[in-house]
Chains A and B, each alone.
Chain A
Amino acid sequence: MADEKSSDKKAVSVADAKVSSSLSERISHLEQKHRIADDTPPQATIPQGGMALAGRVSSELVAGLIVGAGSGWVLDRWLDTSPLMLVVMFFLGAVAGMVNVWRAVSGRGMAAGYADDYETRAKKDSSE
């Protein structure tokens, strides 16, 4: 009888220890996660899922053309240079759209600049 009770107690305390250890583990894990988030400068990432990426790429292409052609048309009306600006801006808009697509696909956020990619790669290479 007494034996049973003590074994029961033991089981409870073991279970307690298990819970508390997993809880403290989880807390430290969460704290670490937050600390990492606080320390590192955020690197914006876009969801890399197929559908999200596909929607993103197509809309960037279309939006580039719309903005390019639209601003070209407005400039033409304003400067009376029809159709020069429409043609020029159409192609520039297409280029801008493709640049945005490349940014989306390479997962670099939206910032301008092309060199940092090589810099980080060089840093990684030299540290290895």
Chain B
Amino acid sequence: MHSPVEQFTIKVLFALNLFGYDVSFTNSSLFMVLTVLASVVFLALAIRPAALIPGRMQGLAEMLYEFVADMVRSNVGNEGRPYFPVIFTLFMFVLFSNLLGLIPYSYTTTSQIVVTFAMALTIFLGVTLIALVKHGFHFFSFFVPSGAPKALIPFLVIIEVISYFVRPVSLSVRLFANMLAGHTMLKVFAGLAVMIASAGGVAAAGSVLPLIAIIGLTGLEVLVAVLQAYVFTILTCMYLNDALHLH
């Protein structure tokens, strides 16, 4: 019987050691490369006709573009335009790795906290740098809540600083936990179906029930994959908005 979490094991495809660091090419790296290739190939092929009246594929690509563009415009405003390419790339990467992970026998890179935390930390550092460059020392006023009683301010500043450093953790944990939980749940139901089927006889017919549950869960997982890509991107927009317009 396979363990439901066996699907998350990292397998080294070919070992590589650089300057004393283990930089082996693993199944996770393979699927990151595939994610990038898939999104680039999809977008390149979709906009290739460049028709005035878009076909299905072009319509899909334009829909994704406009979706992110609208998100940036309404959450960050005009100052957010220079950062649109980064945010769009981020959205496409998370969306495609979530969706590719739903294909049987594939691997979900976003179910590794290392991957999501690396992305979240990059966003966090980038946004903090943008705020520091744009506002200088005024940035630190961000941690002083306005309108609070004076006696409480030292305490509140500590809490604000902690809640600022919570951002990359909550951003990465959310995506990773959703993907991990969803895929584990699918595997548990699949294992249940196999176990009931192997009982043999009339009881084996009962394995239809977990199979039906898997169909429903797969639909739910598609929803979660898209939703989490959206949430990851919109939170990035919100952090960027905070950095550009200090309150």
Interface residue ranges, A against B (CB under 8 Å)? 34, 37-38, 41-42, 44-47, 49, 51-52, 55-56, 59-60, 62-64, 66-68, 71, 89, 92-93, 95-97, 99-100, 109-116, 118-119
The SS class assigned to the B binding surface is helix
Complex Cα–Cα for A43 and B75 (A) = 6
Chain A residues with CB under 8 Å of B147's CB are 113-116, 118-119
Complex Cα–Cα for A30 and B141 (A) = 37
A66 touches which of B146, B169, B241 (Cβ 8 Å) = B169
Q: Do B162 and A71 touch (CB < 8 A)?
A: yes
Q: Do A42 and B241 touch (CB < 8 A)?
A: yes
A109 touches which of B223, B231, B242 (Cβ 8 Å) = B242
Q: Do B142 and A112 touch (CB < 8 A)?
A: yes
Q: Do B174 and A56 touch (CB < 8 A)?
A: yes
Chain A residues with CB under 8 Å of B87's CB are none
Q: Do B143 and A56 touch (CB < 8 A)?
A: no
* Mask of B27-45 contacts with A, CB within 8 angstroms, 1/0: 0000000000000000000
A/B pair count, beta carbons within 8 Å: 123
Chain B, 123-169, CB within 8 A of any chain A CB: 142-148, 158-160, 162-163, 165-167, 169
- Please classify how large the interface on chain B is, using the bins under 10, 10 to 19, 20 to 34, 35 or more: 35 or more
Known: A42-B75, A60-B166. A110 touches B159 (CB 8 A): no
Chain B residues with CB under 8 Å of A56's CB are 174, 231
Minimal beta-carbon separation of B120 from chain A (angstroms): 10
Q: Do A97 and B143 touch (CB < 8 A)?
A: no
Nearest-neighbor residue (CB-CB) of B237 within chain A: A44
List 13 A-B pairs, Cβ < 8 Å.
Answer: A37-B73, A44-B237, A51-B223, A55-B228, A56-B174, A59-B170, A64-B162, A67-B162, A67-B165, A93-B162, A95-B162, A96-B159, A112-B143
Complex Cα–Cα for A111 and B241 (A) = 9
Chain B residues with CB under 8 Å of A96's CB are 159-160, 162-163, 166
Q: Do A67 and B247 touch (CB < 8 A)?
A: no
Minimal beta-carbon separation of B219 from chain A (angstroms): 13
Minimal beta-carbon separation of A71 from chain B (angstroms): 7
Complex Cα–Cα for A42 and B234 (A) = 13
Q: Do B174 and A59 touch (CB < 8 A)?
A: yes
Complex Cα–Cα for A44 and B165 (A) = 19
The list of the 9 closest CB pairs from A to B, nearest first, reads A115-B147, A63-B170, A59-B174, A96-B163, A96-B162, A63-B169, A111-B247, A42-B77, A44-B238
Complex Cα–Cα for A119 and B247 (A) = 13
Known: A42-B77, A115-B147. A51 touches B166 (CB 8 A): no
Q: Do A99 and B163 touch (CB < 8 A)?
A: yes
Chain A residues with CB under 8 Å of B239's CB are 110
Complex Cα–Cα for A68 and B223 (A) = 32
Nearest-neighbor residue (CB-CB) of B176 within chain A: A59
